[in-house]
Structure 1
Amino acid sequence: MVALTSVFTTLFAAALSITGVVAAPVNQTLSARSAAPAAPHFVAYDDKWITPPSAADLQGYNVYAMTFWRPNGAVDQAENWAGLDVATRTLALTTYRAAGIKTVVSAFGAQFYPTSGSPALDPTQTADELAAWVIQYGLDGVDIDYEDLPAMDKKDGSAEQWLITFTTELRNKLPASDYFITHAPLAPWFAPSVYTSGGYIKVNQQVGSLIDWYNVQYYNDGSSEYTTCDGLINTSSSNNPDSALFQIVAAGVSADKLVIGKPGTSVDATNGYMSASDLASCLQQATAKNWNAGVSVWQYPDADASWIKTVRSLAFPE
């Protein structure tokens, strides 16, 4: 997932006020965000640096993920959120929660290298800083978009161990009773035949109980990868073996934790795009095999309420 930075202006508080929802202190809404929402999950990532959407604009979604938190400062939509005054943020959270929408921040993103960067980030300290940001800004949880390809591609276990230590500390600071934690791994990282140091299979084995679900990125992995229902849910190509949905399940990851991540339009990713109607057909086939985890999309507003309505229409009609 790629970060985008531009200028932000907003009349968000005025827009929200027409809903008639009265703002309350953020801490009073803790019970409303407690624990992870049940599957299916419909996750909209927002990196567009736009006015935060109304709950009506997000109809059909139940998780709104702002990108990105980074240790040297939030960027893009997450920076927008931090720039809002407390009353406006509280009103937004109250409005979203009343509509059944959880709000999270996604950390890191593409071309950010926590493990292989110079200097490498300490996983415990980084987790502490991220948790403090989540708490400060009143969010329901956090998504970990770790895309340190140089570290994972070394296959020496350094990426896996960083993620294990980081996730353990993050859960210590964000208890499951009050916050949920998701990860957004690249689909090929679940292939034990390729990532001989374990990849995300090892992460899942070690700290999967601390992770509520995975928003698996089924895109940016090759021009024809994961673009048919069979390649997406049953058997992936030899270029990215053992990484289709049910191949990951066969490797030991619970089906209800594997959310299918796709780009909303062909311009939202280099490759891996499927039309909303084609994706809906794939989801219908997957649910016939007792899968119900849901869908994540990069990114809102390219994938708006109309997009998710079509995607959900066969397997998860509203």
Structure 2
Amino acid sequence: MSSSQIVIYADNTNVPITGLIGSSCTIAIQAFLYSEDGSTLQMDYPLQAAVQDPSIISSTKENGKRKVLVSVGGEVFASSAWKAAASDVSSFASQIAAFVEKYNFDGVDIDWEDTGAISDGSYDPTTFLLDLSSALKSALPSSQNFITHAPQCPYFYTGSDLDIYSTIAKNAGDNIDLFNIQYYNNDWYVGSSGSDEEEKVAGLTGSSVFPSSIMGIKAQGLDVSKMLVGKPTTSDNASSGYLDDDDLASYVVTPLAKELGSDFGGVMGWQFATSASSSDNVLSWIEAMNSAIEAGSSSTSTQAAE
């Protein structure tokens, strides 16, 4: 039995997370908490809908079958707000922690996408994200302090100015439990075909291992069991980086599960709805990814037994 995770984000009022009940999803992430000034947190409409009835969060956990986290950040979180939050990490973390406890979430996902701050020097993103993770881990009770991050894949590309998450992953220790790496919307770092992604996402082909691929991250000496392959669940959920279920399974997920065995972190899907405005969900994608992981894990077990 694989220990790999299947993580699904939800950010659509038409497709509530209760639809995940009975699925193979192990972690549901409800988006988004955001801020316009870095001091006052606000809920987007899907998050408001998810917390209006306490039974939505509790029933989605399905008696402990899955964790339900709240995501902080996203593309609507302004750079100036991140800068303000970095100037008072303790207060920012306290607000988030209070929200998590009030609404019975199991933890927090940090979706930091303030790429410009890496070069403009307005604050130190690496220090901020490490300090925020530590503060959240300490502020929340152990039953509610599961912390994940959602870095874009260039943030792991060694030798690049964008490479901040290699340092974060190296120094976070137990303060970050998983990294839901966004292998989409970054064409050069991802590619546009199954064979491209076998090289640039999985890191299993090519003359040398691609630095920000899963195997490239492993080559950096980082804990690859915390690294998840994040992909759009449909072509409507990202501008690029989508592979259909069969190609994603055959070129990326099953080969990685076979190569890494129990060290394969799993997959993340953006998102549960088939599009931002759809009323349809992607339960079939979740089960296809579960089957792909199991196929690779079964091959690893068979090889070990021979």
- Structure 1: distance between partners of 2:217 and 2:166: 8
Residue deviations 1:1-43, cap 9 Å, x none? Answer: xxxxxxxxxxxxxxxxxxxxxxxxxxxxxxxxxxxxx931111
Amino acid at match of 1:47: D
Q: Do residues 98 (structure 1) and 74 (structure 2) align?
A: no
- Check 1:96–1:176 CA distance in 2 against 1; reply closer, same or farther (3 A cut): closer
| Superposition map of 1:119-198 within 5 A | 119=84, 121=86, 122-154=88-120, 158-195=124-161
- Check 1:210–1:56 CA distance in 2 against 1; reply closer, same or farther (3 A cut): closer
- Check 1:92–1:120 CA distance in 2 against 1; reply closer, same or farther (3 A cut): closer
Q: How many pairs are equivalent?
A: 274
- Structure 2: distance between partners of 1:57 and 1:177: 21
* Structure 1 gaps, min length 5: 1-37
Q: Do residues 272 (structure 1) and 241 (structure 2) align?
A: yes
State percent identity of aligned pairs: 27
Q: Do residues 288 (structure 1) and 254 (structure 2) align?
A: no
The Cα of 1:294 is off from its aligned counterpart by 0.9
Q: Do residues 260 (structure 1) and 229 (structure 2) align?
A: yes
The Cα of 1:314 is off from its aligned counterpart by 2.8
- Structure 1: distance between partners of 2:45 and 2:146: 22
Q: Could you tell me the TM-score, scaled by structure 1's length?
A: 0.77
Verify the 8 A CA contact 1:67 1:76 in the aligned structure 2. Answer: no
The Cα of 1:103 is off from its aligned counterpart by 0.9
Q: Do residues 313 (structure 1) and 291 (structure 2) align?
A: yes
Amino acid at match of 1:292: F
- Check 1:139–1:80 CA distance in 2 against 1; reply closer, same or farther (3 A cut): same
Verify the 8 A CA contact 2:50 2:57 in the aligned structure 1. Answer: no
Give the aligned CA root-mean-square deviation in angstroms: 2.8
The Cα of 1:223 is off from its aligned counterpart by 6.4
Amino acid at match of 2:12: K
Residue deviations 1:93-146, cap 9 Å, x none? Answer: 145332712111111101424567564552221111111101110011111111
Deviation larger for 270-279 or 169-178: 169-178
Amino acid at match of 1:214: F
| Counterpart selection for 2:11 from 44, 47, 64 | 47
Q: Could you tell me the TM-score, scaled by structure 2's length?
A: 0.80
The Cα of 1:147 is off from its aligned counterpart by 0.7
- Structure 1: distance between partners of 2:170 and 2:120: 20
Question: Which residue of structure 1 aligns with residue 29 of structure 2?
Answer: 65
- Give SS of 2:70's match: strand
- Give SS of 1:97's match: coil
When you count helix as a share of all residues, which structure comes out higher? 2
